[in-house]
Amino acid sequence: MRLDLAGGWTDTPPYTFEKGGAVVNIAINLEGVPPIRVNGRFIDEPVIRLCSKDANKTSCIAKVGELINYAVPGDPLAIHKATIVLLDIIPNEEQALNEFLRHSGGFEINTECAVPMGSGLGTSSILGAALVKCLCEMMNIPLTNDLLFNCVLKLEQMFTTGGGWQDQIGGVIGGAKFTTTMPGIPPIYNITQIQDGNDDFLNELQKRLILFYTGVPRIAKNILEIVVIRYLSREKEVVEILNHLMDNARDMYEAMSSSDFHRIGQLINEYWEMKKQLVPGSTNQEIEDIMSEVKEMASGIGLAGAGGGGFMYILAKDHESTQKIREKLYKTALKSDSKLYNWDFNFDGMEIQ
């Protein structure tokens, strides 16, 4: 998964195409494992079998019409279908598809996402990246990282969720990263590892950064639409905030590079305040109540991704505060649908077997 620490929203079209973008995020495992997996195999049956293990849904597709009906974000197999269409790996005419499947046999794609829906951790884009990579490996389609990132960027627009580029980069490339792009289409990515090999800093960050699922689900699409409409209307406040978010990411890169935990906390707070200004619906009373319980012990606090629910992250002031925050959140989780998660850095990024 990816956890965004600064600059999110600047990676989202159309702003990122017009102004460029700058984001700091980290690749993480949940409960000791990468929670997203995609498996592909060829089968003798003349069908395309799509499976989502976590949604407990399977579909056997033998007709073009069943495949091109992908623009349904609530459908757990929508992204599977859109990926196949995007890569143009099967004929798009009914008779040609039937002959193709009879001659070549079919294939099966299985996915698993062991993370709550609406997490804010970039699930759909990272799943999309894994699907694109899996199918390209199966079909011997050459694929650079930049092409992979841009395929997922297009994929998000195809099935109407409208995401940007930071999620797929955050999950595909391991460790802590500062990613920038210049204006233009397609984006060209400059990815810089932060404190790569500095175990002292990364271990300290992992100890003091707490990840908590609020139990409040949300759909990023709704929040994204609000921000995009406001930007296209050239609302002065929105344009200024997006420009400040670019500065926020650059400042976070400098703070993390110098191991300045106090400044990192300040920038997390600034980031969260800007998210709330962009979309007032990024927070609610339930979220604010959870934050108020731990605020005095935290250097920085915010919600992952677009906000509105999902995962909260808290940077504790010190090790003593870390333990106290965890105890409070554990008690909160006992009486709600929330959960305190263990996380660790994922330094390998996407793995292929």
Q: Does 25 reside within a domain?
A: no
**DSSP per-residue string spanning 65-89:** HHHH----TT-TTHHHHHHHHHHT-
Total structural domains in the chain? 2
Summarised one tens digit per residue, pLDDT across range 229-249 is 899 999 999 999 999 999 999
Contacts of 30 (CB under 8 A, 6+ apart): 1, 114, 115, 211, 341, 342, 343
pLDDT class of 219 with cuts at 50, 70, 90? low
pLDDT at res. 322:
97
92 vs 322: CA distance, rounded Å: 55
- Examine the fold and report which residue of 181, 214, 233 is the final residue of a domain before the chain moves on: 181
Summarised one tens digit per residue, pLDDT across range 165-190 is 999 999 999 999 999 999 999 999 99
Question: What is the mean predicted confidence (pLDDT) over 325-340?
Answer: 92
Q: Does 310 reside within a domain?
A: yes
Domain that holds residue 167: 36-181
pLDDT at res. 73:
64
Contacts of 37 (CB under 8 A, 6+ apart): 111, 112, 130
241 and 327, same domain (yes or no):
yes
Give percent of the chain with pLDDT exceeding 90. Answer: 77
177 and 224, same domain (yes or no):
no
pLDDT class of 117 with cuts at 50, 70, 90? confident
Q: For 195, list phi and psi in degrees, rounded to 5.
A: 55, 35
- Examine the fold and report which residue of 181, 208, 240 is the final residue of a domain before the chain moves on: 181
Q: Does 95 reside within a domain?
A: yes
Q: pTM for the full model?
A: 0.94
**DSSP per-residue string spanning 309-348:** SSEEEEEESSHHHHHHHHHHHHHHHHTSS-EEEPEEE--S
170 and 242, same domain (yes or no):
no
Question: What is the mean predicted confidence (pLDDT) over 134-148?
Answer: 96
Paired with 48 in beta bridges are 61, 107
Q: Does 42 reside within a domain?
A: yes
Q: Does 186 reside within a domain?
A: no
pLDDT at res. 220:
59
Q: For 244, list phi and psi in degrees, rounded to 5.
A: -65, -30
185 vs 133: CA distance, rounded Å: 22
Q: Does 31 reside within a domain?
A: no
Query: Which letter does DSSP use for residue 33 in this model?
Result: B
Contacts of 81 (CB under 8 A, 6+ apart): 50, 61, 67, 68, 69, 70
Q: Does 211 reside within a domain?
A: yes
CATH number at residue 162: 3.30.230.10
pLDDT at res. 72:
73
pLDDT class of 262 with cuts at 50, 70, 90? very high
CATH number at residue 247: 3.30.70.890
Contacts of 195 (CB under 8 A, 6+ apart): 176, 201, 202, 256, 257, 259
Higher pLDDT, 321 or 227: 321
40 and 171, same domain (yes or no):
yes
Summarised one tens digit per residue, pLDDT across range 8-49 is 999 999 999 999 999 999 999 999 999 999 999 999 999 999
Question: What is the mean predicted confidence (pLDDT) over 293-319?
Answer: 95
Question: What is the mean predicted confidence (pLDDT) over 203-223?
Answer: 86
- Examine the fold and report which residue of 181, 208, 233 is the final residue of a domain before the chain moves on: 181
pLDDT class of 50 with cuts at 50, 70, 90? very high
61 and 173, same domain (yes or no):
yes
221 and 125, same domain (yes or no):
no
Return the residue matching tokens 């959960």: 339
pLDDT at res. 323:
97
129 and 267, same domain (yes or no):
no
87 vs 168: CA distance, rounded Å: 17
Q: Quick check: 70 and 81 in contact, CB under 8 A?
A: yes
52-to-77, 79, 81, 110, 221 alpha-carbon distances in Å: 7, 10, 12, 6, 21
Angle at 219 between CA 274 and CA 298, to 5 degrees: 40
203 and 339, same domain (yes or no):
yes
53 and 148, same domain (yes or no):
yes
Q: Does 313 reside within a domain?
A: yes
Summarised one tens digit per residue, pLDDT across range 52-109 is 999 999 999 888 888 888 877 678 899 999 999 999 988 888 788 888 888 888 999 9
168 and 235, same domain (yes or no):
no
282 vs 291: CA distance, rounded Å: 13
pLDDT class of 225 with cuts at 50, 70, 90? confident
Continuous segment of H or E residues that includes residue 263 = helix 261-278
**Over the chain, what is the mean pLDDT?**
93
161 and 257, same domain (yes or no):
no
167 and 210, same domain (yes or no):
no
